Amino acid sequence: MLREQIYAQATAALQERRRHAQQEQERRSDQIEREIPETLELNRHLRATCTAILQAAQSGNPQERLRQIEQRSLEADAMLRQLLTAHGYPADYLDLHYACPDCSDTGFVSGVPCACLKKEIGRISAEQLNVQSGLKLSSFERFSLSYYRDLPAEQQQAMAKVLQACKRYAADFAPGKAGNLLMFGGTGLGKTHLSLSIAKEILDKGYSVVYDATGSLLHILEREKFGRAEQDDTMQLLLECDLLILDDFGTEQDSSLNRSMIYTLLNSRINSGRAMIVNTNLDHAEIRTRYGDRILSRLLFTSEILHFYGKDIRMQKYMEQRG
């Protein structure tokens, strides 16, 4: 999708939020007028203020009249708030509640794009990139510990703890505060499933998440680097999204270009405190050999480390289906 289309989609989403805030306010207002009929007169008075101001502007002594109107509307407003709290509602119950108080969901503050507009653009861009990914979102409910039941007890317990850690990570996620997860273990042990379950929960909270196999992401970056792609801002997106999931880290082609892109990506995200989930079939020594001590130690220091145990679940499912 072109940048202009992403921008148009983001501003449309904000417009929708604004409309929703207005509809909700009307709904609350109708409800309160039914429940507390005294508010009807006060609301009518407040609504009439605009007309009164326009009329005053054309009158002989506008300043004095405007002062009186302001005084009366302040009194009406204060009475309305008192009525609301007396009936157990918050004093601001009838105010407009925008999702972003900074820009009242317009996307701009004094002509400058608001953080919420930039966030929405990031979210849509990430969504677009994920469409190309072969990975599909998953859920914790569909993750079964029964595939690990043949393991020794301590490994079963370890897998139960891994599941808990992933659920906790998703539940507590906040940009700039969440650390990294580093998942070690062989193919088919559930690393991707749990990563994509975390992704789903965090996307549902409205954050931007990019998830793909490390190799595919590097391939996109390479195409952009040599000007063979329609877009050229994937690196920026990978550096700035709220959560980056690098699946199958270490299966990408081992080249100096890939190493340098990986280095930039991991190093910049760690420096800016942006969260990552890195899944790998490699062990510590293999990562060290390929990417060096510096990256390995930075990853280890900034990550919660989860070791996966078991037998290839895809293989187990396949055998079950064959009966």
Considering only residues 276 through 295, tell me which ones interact with Zn ion, judged by CB under 5 A. Answer: none
Q: Which two three-digit tokens encode residue 315?
A: 């293989």
- Which one, 109 or 137, has the nearer CB to Zn ion? 109
Give all strands (DSSP E) within the chain, no chain letters.
108-109, 112-113, 180-184, 209-213, 243-249, 275-280, 303-307
Among 42, 80, 84, 116, binds Zn ion (CB under 5 A): 116
In the bound state with Zn ion, the residue whose beta carbon lies nearer, of 18 and 269, is 18
Distance CA 72, CA 83 (A): 17
> Are residues 107 and 185 in contact, defined by beta-carbon separation less than 8 angstroms?
no
Residues in the interface with Zn ion (CB under 5 A) total 5
Shortest Cβ 17–Zn ion spacing (Å): 9
Nearer to Zn ion, 64 or 102 (CB): 102
Q: How far is the CB of 109 from Zn ion (least distance, A)?
A: 7
Q: How far apart are CB 31 and Zn ion at their closest, in Å?
A: 27
State the minimum distance, in angstroms, from the CB of residue 12 to Zn ion: 15
Minimum separation from the CB atom of position 116 to Zn ion (A): 3
Tokens encoding 79: 């009475």
Of 110 and 256, nearer to Zn ion (C-beta) is: 110
Angle CA 95–100–103, to nearest 5: 95
53-112: contacts with Zn ion (CB under 5 A): 100, 102-103
For residue 7, the tally of other CB atoms under 10 A from its CB is 16
- H/E stretch holding 257: helix 256-271
Closer of 100 and 129 to Zn ion (Cβ): 100
The rounded distance, in Å, linking the Cα atoms of 201 and 220 is 26
Residues that bind Zn ion (CB under 5 A): 100, 102-103, 114, 116
